[in-house]
Structure 1
Amino acid sequence: MNTIGGVGFFPFGVPGSLRGDVAEARPASGQAPGTRQAAAPGAAIRLDLGGAGTDAETRLRERLGQVVGVLHRDAAERDAVVGRMMDALRGRLDGADAVEIRVTSLRVDHGGAATVTQPVIEVGTVKDGRVGAEDTSVFALDGRSAGLGAAAIAEGWRHGTFASRQDLPPAPDADAGLKAAREALERLRALRK
């Protein structure tokens, strides 16, 4: 486990011993599917939004800056990453009691060609002690959305790591180069005759 600002996080997924407490996506009695209990203390970077002082958006921007600052030392780069994340989170803080930030992992399956696992940053809003998949965003380390919908987020909570499938672009036609070379040879042969 690593720490940021004294709070522990697991950089590549939630250990199996914590999945039942932290990453559970099955609804509790009376709860809608695609929600989970707020994380146990120390299992997520938690920012309580209640109380007086700095507004919630500014406090979230500062906390995200601390998290992202571990990965992006350059201030301009860090600010750009946090800016992209804040743009995606705009409007999500309304009615939220807290925000939970977790560094976890995303496994991207490219069919039979490759599977890539990368760290991602999960940001979810806590409302009435629960985090809803629809109120959660998953970001790549550059601050852009990882492109996961609510169903994929809820599934990721169940397994302790997020997953997606992306098809690789089609390979360039290997025969096209060979065909062009053969045509060029034929033109040369025709010139020689």
Structure 2
Amino acid sequence: MNIPNALTLFRIMLIPVFVVVFYLPFSLSYVATAAIFGLAGITDWLDGYLARKLEQSTPLGAFLDPVADKLMVAVALALLIERYDAWWFTIPAIVIIGREIVISALREWMAELGKRTSVAVSYLGKIKTTAQIVAIIGLLLISPEHDGPFYFVNLVCLYSAAVLTLWSMLIYLHAAWPDLRSSAKS
């Protein structure tokens, strides 16, 4: 066990805490859930930084880090879908969750072929993740009855994250397309 892996496990352990706090009936629950999600985002950045800086990258960390990220984002979006209860919110959330499932499956399949690096995380993926984190934190901070400018800015961030999500998925699929085609012919 090293510090980066401990941070990743901490992020996974934050998920049930996040869910419980989301449903607690107290006035600061919006701020508390946004803070927990923000803390998860910071530990995501920090564990990657420390793994590189301290040269503590491990196979366990390489496996757990993306799992922790996808679980936290999917759980947060599922809770927000319930909170906002509207098709215009559900669509970008499902796009984001669906893309994460598709790309995870693609990466696993490419790893079996020994070509995992052709679908490695890109700079666009990091921008997409940042847009998701900003949108989710902002949407966690406000109640669904709030429809002011802060709400609309966060909704624009969510839609931007969904567009970046689709764009990055197309890039990954394009990179994997030769292998997908050759496997289909076999």
Q: TM > 0.5 between the two? A: no
Larger Rg: 1
Structure having the higher strand fraction is 1
TM-score of the superposed pair, with normalisation by structure 2: 0.29
